[in-house]
Chain A
Amino acid sequence: MLLVLAALAAPGTAAARTREYWVAAEPARWNVVPNGLDAIHGMRFDRSETIFPTTTYRRYTRRWRHPLRLRDDARAGAGRIPGPLLRARVGDRLLVHFLNRDTRTGNAHSMHFHGVEYAPSSDGAFVPGFSGRDGNVPVGGTYTYRLHAGRDSAGVWPYHDHGPAMAASLAGGMYGALSILGPRERRPDREFVVMFAPFGGFQAIDGRAFVGNTPVFQSRVGDVVQWDVLAIGDEHHTFHVHGHRWRGADGVPLDTRTLGPAESFRVRWREDAPGTWLYHCHVESHMANGMIGLYRVRR
């Protein structure tokens, strides 16, 4: 009985385990503004301005048999841009099996992970004369990255293509987030990925621009919500959520926090503010050009 109670008290606690993910890079036609509208400024866009051929990560079932679209990923705003949300807990081993299916460009690709421990052979960066296949997986080729969520890995981290075509890949959305819980940390009720990165001339969150296109994150009063905030690209962004505050590492309340390229952090609170709120980058020109979304809290 005591053991059962202990398990209920700390539902997140689990023995270290090996987590396997099957991911492919594959072509997509991506619409940055699916509703064709900047609703706040009353501007319309033609589809020809907002649809781009690109290549993204995509999660698959074992041995890449079928594409895998998880409800958790969809709720978190992840899946294609950003790629699948890879979850782990400190102590876990991660095996990320990667298949390059990018027949669109024919480029070699890779996966490079921040925040976790790995041998150089799982770095995923292309370095002529040094790196192996991990940084340069050709079309049709596969590679398994062997990672370890170490003591310092708790948090949220980006992963992205670091192959020879990295610049084009990142502009096209080949990035995603790793979310690693501490050894005894409780999993949040809701987890939202906010990935700031430009796309197709827009300032996008999760590859979409403007309210209604960027993820409409949803929670209920009482939920523990976790925001995984990351940035990719050349610019700094300031993450801001209306009607909410959280504590920084020094205990000081915040409602806006800055991050630069490849930086990431997570923010948690217990939801107590019902309503429809904005979240956005507070760099004004970024907000005006798409980095803004809706957050809906129900009672």
Chain B
Amino acid sequence: MRARLGTAVLGALALASPPAAGAAVGVVSIPGQSFNPSRLTIAAGDTVTWRNADFLEHDVRAADGSFDSGHLRRFAFFARRFDNVGSVPYLCTIHPFMRGQVDVLAALLSGPPESVLAGQPVELQGRAGAGATSVALERTLADGSWRAVGTTAPGPDGAFAFVVAPDGPSTYRAVTAAGSSAAVTVNVVATVAVAVTVRVRRQQRLVEVATRPAAAQTLATLERYSRWHYRWRPHARARLRARGHATFRLRSGARGLVRIVLRATPHGPLLATSTPVRVTNGKPAVDPLVAIVHGPMAAASRRG
């Protein structure tokens, strides 16, 4: 299932500390003869507040006449709760060129702002409209159709989150009984470049790791090659810092080959492997196992 969908919902959890349901999450300022922002997206049940910061009087009236603020003097405000899903255009009747729109969705969903690594767990956070008792996360398939990949119950404030680990670019949306959120695309890069440099200090050798794109929070494992065991053995682990860097320390007499492997979780799939480098001088080296596994029979299992 995971391979076919190219994704997996690793978990769903209700968020703990969100704004109260129906709180005035939307604020539209009137700094002059305009609405800011002119277009606002909210969840059903949210309240939008317009605040006049201009010296002139304005008003806020729905194009369909469903609400009218009346005249708003400087620093006066008007609040309106939106329970129904849909788009509501509005204008200032005093200055009809002042126009805005509130888009009311059944749920809000947001993804990571930057590209993530294939297989790296990422959290999609959202908030369901008032009254929703269940939220489904859907993902697009190759033919453009949507397929549910997980469900959760939103918290009392409507907040929810899904953890996904897409192995390719993926588009998601949250669906409740009232409708769906806007689509959110998670950009996925298949590979991350891992650069390893070795610096010699008096008492130790520093093995510095840099990743591109920055694989922040990813688990980097320093592995050392054991000649007698024909294998790379984990030596130390560290979470990459915000810019995708980490530093390992080895004692000054350390020798042999090291490499860095990246995983999202200690036992998760391999995201990237660096070129091996020599601890003594930091120069790149050929992986000894690549040299050992040779010939046309190498790929085939002898027992298959």
Contacts and interface: CB of A to CB of B under 8 A. Distances in A.
Interface in B257-301: 289, 292-295, 297-299, 301
Interface string A22-55: 0000000000001101110111111001000000
Given A37-B289, A37-B292, A44-B293, A212 B231 contact: yes
Contacts of B295: 42
Contact of A39 (B230, B297, B299): B230
B304 to A, nearest CB: 8
A42 B230 contact: no
Contacts of A39: 230, 292
Nearest to B302: A43
A72 B60 CA distance: 83
A171 interface: no
A212 B229 contact: yes
- Categorize the interface residue count of chain A: 20 to 34
A46 B301 contact: yes
Contact of B301 (A42, A43, A296): A43
A35 B231 CA distance: 6
Interface of B: 226, 228-231, 289, 292-295, 297-299, 301-303
A34 B303 CA distance: 16
Contact of B230 (A35, A46, A296): A35
A67 interface: no
Closest 3 CB pairs of A and B: A212-B230, A35-B231, A212-B229
28 contacts: A34-B231, A35-B229, A35-B230, A37-B231, A37-B289, A37-B292, A37-B293, A38-B302, A39-B230, A39-B292, A42-B292, A42-B294, A42-B297, A43-B298, A43-B301, A43-B302, A44-B293, A44-B299, A44-B301, A45-B302, A49-B301, A49-B303, A201-B303, A212-B226, A216-B228, A276-B228, A294-B228, A296-B228
Contacts of B289: 37
Contacts of B292: 37, 39, 42
Contacts of A49: 301, 303
Nearest to A212: B230
A211 interface: yes
Contacts of A34: 231
A235 B246 CA distance: 53
Contacts of B231: 34-35, 37, 212
A42 B228 CA distance: 15
Contact of B298 (A35, A44, A276): A44
A202 to B, nearest CB: 9
Contacts of B302: 38, 41, 43, 45
A296 B227 CA distance: 11
A34 B232 CA distance: 11
Given A44-B301, A211-B230, A294-B228, 18 more contacts: A38-B302, A39-B230, A41-B302, A42-B293, A42-B294, A42-B297, A43-B297, A43-B301, A44-B293, A45-B301, A45-B303, A49-B301, A49-B303, A212-B226, A212-B229, A212-B230, A216-B228, A276-B228
Contacts of A46: 301
A212 B231 CA distance: 8
A34 B226 CA distance: 13
Which of A37, A44, A45, A296 neighbours the largest number of chain B CB atoms within 10 Å of its CB?
A44
B259 to A, nearest CB: 15
